Each structure stands twice: as C-alpha cells, then as structure tokens.
Chains A and B, each alone.
Chain A
Amino acid sequence: GQQVMQIPQYQHVQEGEDFTTYCNSSTTLSNIQWYKQRPGGHPVFLIQLVKSGEVKKQKRLTFQFGEAKKNSSLHITATQTTDVGTYFCADSNFGNEKLTFGTGTRLTIIP
C-alpha cells in the first residue's frame, strides 16, 4: 500500500531559525495537502498543492510540490514560538476523499 514518509521525525530549532520538513511518497501523489496539529489539538488545514512543480507561499511558509509529484516540502522562515506543532503532509486521493497522512514532523522551538 501507499506509504507517505516525512523527515525529520523531530526538529528542534532556535527561535528565528528556519525549518524544513520533507514528504516522500512511494507512489505518485494526486494532490498534497499540509496540516498543522498543535500539541493537544486537532489537524488544521494549511494548503493544497495540485500541479507538478507548484510553489505556494503563506507569509513565512513556503510549500513545494515535486516535479514527479512524489514529494513535497514545507519551509518556514524565521520560526516563531507559535509555529510549534506537528506538521503533516497528506495525500488527498484526488480531492474530497480520505486522507493518507505522512508520518509527521514534530517541531519544537527553543526560545
């Protein structure tokens, strides 16, 4: 079956440093969505990427979809304490269908 792996599993950064999480799939992804889950919270939708090579930005967050649609990345510039949480990529199976989540990257910020 499909496997969606993320690296690293954990990342500790000093506040103000950059952070990147990488998402890799064993199969071609239809669309890739990114979710953030704060400690003790629920997943919150961040963005969806659809096209090969697509790049989208949300303030300090930059999302990329690989050319072969088998990988994706999320980059956060100048991290802040509010960025703490686990970031999941998820394959949405052509939209409006079940999500297959990646293994997640847990980000902690050292003030």
Chain B
Amino acid sequence: AAGVIQSPRHLIKEKRETATLKCYPIPRHDTVYWYQQGPGQDPQFLISFYEKMQSDKGSIPDRFSAQQFSDYHSELNMSSLELGDSALYFCASSLGESQYFGPGTRLTVL
C-alpha cells in the first residue's frame, strides 16, 4: 500500500539559510499535517491543511510557512534557519480517525 512520502530524508543547512521540505500524502487522503519532533521529545503540531486550505495552526514560527498544492502535495518552507530548528519534521495524512506518518525529514542546522 502507498505510504506518505517525504523528501528529502536528510537536510543540512547553515544558520540563516532557507529550507523546503516536501510531503506527498497517501492518495485520496484529504488532510495533511506537519509535526516537529526534537530529540527525545514528542511530536509537536505545526500546521494542517484540509482539501488544500489551511485548517489549523499550532506553534509554528513566523519564519515558517506551508502550503498544499493542487496535486495535494504539501511543502513546508523554513527561512532564517536557527540552530534550534534542528529536528525531525514529519508529515502525516489522514482520511478520518488515524494519521499516517511519513518517514520524516531530519533537518540539521549548523
């Protein structure tokens, strides 16, 4: 069965650079979520989209933005990167109760 695809899987950036993370949800799933997981922490909700419209927003810095495109893939754009942005970024998609998580993008900011 198709799963959530995320790219890239690993990303290394310098401080103040920008990064773009991509997510391809499971076909026909109508909701996409982005989560940030720091080392040894639980995933923290950033933002979600339902049918390509932003549906909810969590503790997402103003430096971050996201959108969902007509083909349902989503991108998380991160600017002016800080050391504290180093984390695992998960995308998840859903068509109801449960959320299906992608393998994540590990972002390292040097």
Interface residues of A (CB under 8 A from B): 31, 33, 41-45, 48, 88, 92, 95-104
Q: Chain B: residues with CB nearer than 8 A to chain A?
A: 31, 33, 35, 42-45, 48, 56, 58, 90, 92, 94, 96-104
Nearest B residue to A89 by beta-carbon distance? B42
SS of A interface (majority): loop
A102→B42 contact, CB < 8 A: yes
| Cβ A45 vs Cβ B42 within 8 A | no
> Please, which residues of chain B bring their CB within 8 A of the CB of A102?
42
Using Cβ atoms and an 8 Å threshold, which residues of chain A touch B33? Answer: 98-99
- B90 contacts A42, C-beta separation under 8 Å: yes
The answer on a CB contact under 8 Å between A88 and B102 is: no
Decide: A42 near B96, CB < 8 A? Known: A88-B42, A96-B31, A104-B42.
Answer: no
- Residues of B near A100 (CB, < 8 A) are 45
CB-contact partner of A98 in B48, B98, B102, under 8 A: B48
